[in-house]
């Protein structure tokens, strides 16, 4: 990678075209009914940690056409990109974006009818405080929705190349990711599997009518990878492999692993194994013999103030 990780805005490796395929639109329409959006007077919406706008804009079809959506992110690069994307999708009059700290939202109390975020709390040192801040700017009776995963679960999702791996190999793969996740949390950068705890945090914060659902989206790949979605994901994975990228790049993975209690020697052994698996994955994709159901655990947690 030409650009140093520390110089990148957050989540840069995950804001490619594949992000446009994170949701089944009919599922979001169902969620709109489950949340009762047609019964709520939604005029103002806040998309917290908006990135380049994927999540907030994915909700455009289930929000009232007169609802004004504000996105906020700490990175000015993403704020500018989000505005461009909104305009490209003819959402420029409904959507606007600002730079700011989501740990201290620059908005007055009780301002928004609907506050939401996607894969934001996994990066927060104190997710409960961010939840409290989102509740602060939410109107009484307003709806809070967060979308957060258990990313560790993906280490147990099989592909055609890993289905017959030894028990030791599978356990080592899970252990490597778990140590990295614990290290990321120890460094104050959030836990990548915090989604499991968010419903309890909502209850502690005093929200009402808490509901928990799981996204029905999987990231399946199977030959001949004909659909636009599969072509995009295939190319994204090949690009990551070419860049020697795992969940994070080598530098960041090592930083998390050591902070999680691993040693330099253990890291090198695990990283070499990951890179070997990447090359097998690459050959499988190029030879049309890689396939997976691509399951995930991604929670949609909602509650009313």
Q: CB of 208 within 8 A of CB of 214? A: no
Quick check: 68 pLDDT over 80?
yes
Q: What is the pTM of this model?
A: 0.94
Quick check: 4 pLDDT over 80?
no
What percent of the chain shows pLDDT beyond 70?
Answer: 98
User: Mean pLDDT across the stretch 278-302?
Assistant: 97
**What is the pLDDT of the chain when averaged over all its residues?**
95
Q: Which of 3-7, 104-108, 226-230, 235-239 has the lowest mean pLDDT?
A: 3-7
Q: CB of 109 within 8 A of CB of 305? A: no
pLDDT, tens digit, 9 for 90 and up, residues 36-63: 998 889 999 999 999 999 999 999 999 9
Helical residues (DSSP H) of the chain, grouped into ranges = 25-35, 54-58, 76-88, 127-136, 167-186, 198-204, 228-242, 250-259, 264-286
- Domain boundary assignment for the chain: 1-150+193-216+297-305, 151-190+222-289
Q: CB of 56 within 8 A of CB of 22? A: no
In angstroms, the CA 289 to CA 281 distance is: 9
pLDDT, tens digit, 9 for 90 and up, residues 90-127: 999 999 999 999 999 999 999 999 999 999 999 999 99
In terms of Cα–Cα distance, which of 134, 69, 130, 85 is closest to 107?
134
In angstroms, the CA 154 to CA 188 distance is: 23
User: Mean pLDDT across the stretch 19-47?
Assistant: 95
Quick check: 139 pLDDT over 60?
yes
Question: Which residues are CB-contacts of 86 (< 8 A; sequence separation ≥ 6)?
Answer: 53, 57, 92, 94, 95, 96, 97
Quick check: 8 pLDDT over 90?
no
Is domain 1-150+193-216+297-305 classified as CATH 3.60.10.10?
no
In angstroms, the CA 83 to CA 79 distance is: 6
Q: CB of 299 within 8 A of CB of 214? A: yes
In angstroms, the CA 201 to CA 204 distance is: 5
What local confidence, expressed as pLDDT, does residue 7 receive? 59
């Amino acid at each position: 990678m030409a650009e140093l990780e520390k110089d990148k805005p957050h989540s840069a490796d995950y804001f490619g075209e594949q992000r446009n395929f994170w949701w089944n639109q009919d599922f979001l329409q169902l969620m709109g009914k489950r949340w009762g959006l047609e019964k709520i007077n939604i005029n103002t919406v806040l998309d917290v940690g908006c990135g380049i706008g994927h999540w907030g804009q994915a909700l455009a079809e289930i929000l009232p056409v007169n609802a004004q959506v504000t996105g906020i992110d700490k990175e000015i690069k993403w704020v500018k990109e989000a505005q461009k994307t909104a305009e490209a999708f003819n959402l420029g009059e409904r959507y606007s974006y600002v730079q700011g700290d989501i740990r201290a939202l620059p908005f007055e109390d009780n301002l928004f009818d609907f506050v939401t975020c996607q894969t934001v709390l996994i990066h927060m040192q104190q997710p409960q405080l961010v939840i409290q801040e989102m509740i602060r700017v939410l109107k009484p009776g307003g709806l809070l929705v967060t979308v957060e995963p258990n990313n560790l679960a993906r280490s147990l999702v099989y592909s055609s190349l890993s289905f017959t791996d030894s028990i030791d190999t599978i356990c080592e793969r899970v252990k490597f990711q778990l140590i990295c996740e614990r290290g990321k949390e120890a460094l104050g950068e959030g836990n990548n599997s915090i989604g499991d705890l968010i419903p309890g945090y909502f209850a502690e914060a005093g929200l009402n009518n808490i509901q928990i659902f799981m996204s029905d989206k999987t990231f399946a790949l199977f030959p001949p990878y004909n659909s636009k979605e599969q072509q995009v994901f295939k190319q994204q994975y090949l690009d990551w492999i070419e860049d020697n990228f795992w969940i994070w790049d080598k530098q960041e993975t090592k930083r998390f692993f050591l902070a999680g209690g691993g040693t330099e020697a253990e890291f090198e052994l695990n990283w070499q194994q990951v890179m070997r698996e990447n090359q097998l994955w690459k050959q499988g994709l190029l030879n049309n013999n890689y396939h997976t159901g691509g399951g995930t655990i991604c929670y949609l947690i909602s509650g009313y103030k």
